[in-house]
Structure 1
């Protein structure tokens, strides 16, 4: 393999040889000048004159021979190094090719390596194939998969470790959920040092859609998405499950535009309000987290309601409240805010003309201390939510309809 940038194939070694050759030539010149100098000072010495002439000749020959010998040895070493480098590069290339062939062989494997301790439902059939990567997250990589019957679904693939293993119990809980506004989990598999979650394939999140369209949702879109999210949260909270990470990036849309709550990796089964110690950890995205979750480390169903309010704001403004401050300044603001950390959010809603009428009243009811914050059944009956809910259910009753 030729080295780039040097026709000799020696790379920087060629420059080093030229440098050393100059040193040898200088050495020969210095010796010769010294001997000739001695000869000139002793021209009247007779026999010494002949000795000096012979000495100059012999020393010159010896120095030249030494220089040529050293240069030859140096070239031999450079050639050995070049051959060795080429062999190493060839070995690396072969190793890389073997790795690619092994990966391709793994992808072609009929069970895809996920038939160990498999817990999938009948929707997932083998052999299924990996397709393009859809995204990456805290859990791992997400990619599209296709079964032999053409059924498409999403797979979350993560490394199996202590933290991920603890998610298996949560995944087992998610498998039992079935609601039109919850992203369905078809099952999971574990083995080979990896965990695989089989999920309903979605078109993307509300956050993705806003980014693609380069605009926030309009009022009608935000209202329709909010109704879907409320239906999903009502179902979860009825089963005492707290989502803990409601935001537009985790509200996914199907091909028909129906919004569904996804990314349930942080979901927990619990009561109305529990401490972090009771849950075991704190989770969520800071800009969407309720004041009690940030400061008092309290997590519960009402924390989801606060996140819902931040998500409605995000739908209409493309970002949650105070996103322009950054995390550190936001936390400082929350720590200094009055009314239980709610004053800043309430002021934003009061000042912004985007929020009017029932929508404004809804957000002002949400951005309050958790003791006063409504539960999901109260949110479902709010005028900005209940009328679309009744239309969706095709009911004439004045009671709010949530399933």
Structure 2
């Protein structure tokens, strides 16, 4: 019985005969030598057939192999630095499982709409394969960071009775006899409750925003990680955000060299992501916009273009803090030095990628929070449990949310977040 191995492990089998299960990625012929590129999900392997060396009945199977035909190949593993992955297989046998007919994604150029319509197949190609391998490692780095620092994972509900950041961007559904329910925009309110029980917590899952936005930074369904820490004020949570981003970028750089080569991503800018990060106030950021000829009105929130201009002034992520309270959520604590500002911050990624983190110190006083809820015309009965947190042992606490897809787009140097998630959901796309 031949050992059944994955391509990524071939270095352990040089000189030995093995069996590989996979699909035909491409093929080419050079006289009496034929090459079949086989992929198995872990890598791409060059398989070689030579007339007179390979059995004739196996050599002739080359003609029936089409792109994405599934097969089992067996042969001797050789080390060859010129081959993809550094190894090749000298074929002894091919067992065809299924011949693919007219695979629609060929080596020629295809438009992005065509590729997105065929996303279920495009995942097999090198570029999306590399992006999603990096996503996997980014997610692992995120979990490792918090797990190794004593944070407890809390799974926040996806169906919620109320909004945490404004009702205009909620997906609504009927919830049996209890009225309306909404798909979660954020798990933040729930991890605030958990932070009062466990001290340091985070949630990590899908979130939903019904924004009619067509920008390259927006998805209607995306993943967000949200830590929350009891007794942290604004300074401490900004420090945590810096440490976190430095860590995850370094981990991905360490584990994804091959994938960055596939994407032709220049990683030199990422190697500069070392603390401390620059920090500027909202007012400082407004001055940057004015100096760069942007007609920006003080008191507005920053749009995509504004964030791009601000972030392009720095080689590292920049933290913008103390936004006007009027443009921030009801739960953010006001600055005791000036009540018109919120103790909030955003982190903008360099290279023009804009916001990847939003966070704040939370309002911890019962009467003040009740007042804010009323000012925002939110239903008090939906937040009675949230107000309870300010009645029974309230403490200062803070947290933030990092969007996985925006962060991955920056790390990979992608033009659009639609490539950062296996099956993107946008206002004009819900299939496949």
* Structure possessing the higher radius of gyration over alpha carbons: 1
User: TM exceeds 0.5?
Assistant: no
For CA contacts below 8 A with separation 6 or more, give which structure has more relative contact order: 2
Bigger share in helix: 1
Bigger share in strand: 2
